[in-house]
Amino acid sequence: MTIIESPARADIDRVATGAFADLFHALSDATRLALLQHLAFGEHRVRDLVEHLDLAQSTVSKHLACLRECGLVSVRAEGRASWFSLAQPELLAGLLAGAERLLDATGDQVTLCSHLMHPHTHGHTAAAVSEAS
């Protein structure tokens, strides 16, 4: 599945475009991005993530469930503990690195865009992530 095959191609693959939109929607929440950033350093339990991000356990669990359902996070059981990790660490690292390069190239334009909804993530601070719960 590819969104752009050739500059000369005029027709759009709506199924691929929809899948891309779903992926970016899954990544569009500051709390989910913070969870992915923490998991990039290795496996974590929910209680570790709760402590690191200073969020409610229910908030962390809800976002991990979303990321897991999207195939971005995997879980393994060890005794009574569940350990979460990135399902595709190399691919996610590449995607986030590409996003970082794009943000560097565009500056503050995306955070200043009046067409985007910034209910509690505007400013992208740790406090904004905490408020997201």
Residues with Cβ within 8 Å of residue 88, at least 6 apart in sequence = 71, 72
Structure tokens at 112: 């200043």
Whichever domain contains 35, its CATH number is: 1.10.10.10
Which pLDDT score, from 0 to 100, does residue 108 have? Answer: 77
Residue 39, helix vs strand vs coil: helix
Residue 10 maps to a domain: no
Per-residue pLDDT tens over the stretch 34-58: 999 999 999 999 999 999 999 999 9
Residue 24 maps to a domain: no
pLDDT band for position 90 (cuts 50, 70, 90): very high
Which pLDDT score, from 0 to 100, does residue 54 have? Answer: 96
Share of the chain above pLDDT 70, in %: 80
Q: How many domains, in total, are found in the chain? A: 1
Residue 16 maps to a domain: no
Which pLDDT score, from 0 to 100, does residue 1 have? Answer: 57
Residue 19 maps to a domain: no
Residue 38 maps to a domain: yes
More reliable by pLDDT, 121 or 109: 109
Residue 74 maps to a domain: yes
Task: Please give the residue range of the domain that contains residue 84.
Answer: 30-131
Residue 89 maps to a domain: yes
In degrees to the nearest 10, what's the CA dihedral of 85, 86, 90, 93? -110
Which pLDDT score, from 0 to 100, does residue 73 have? Answer: 97
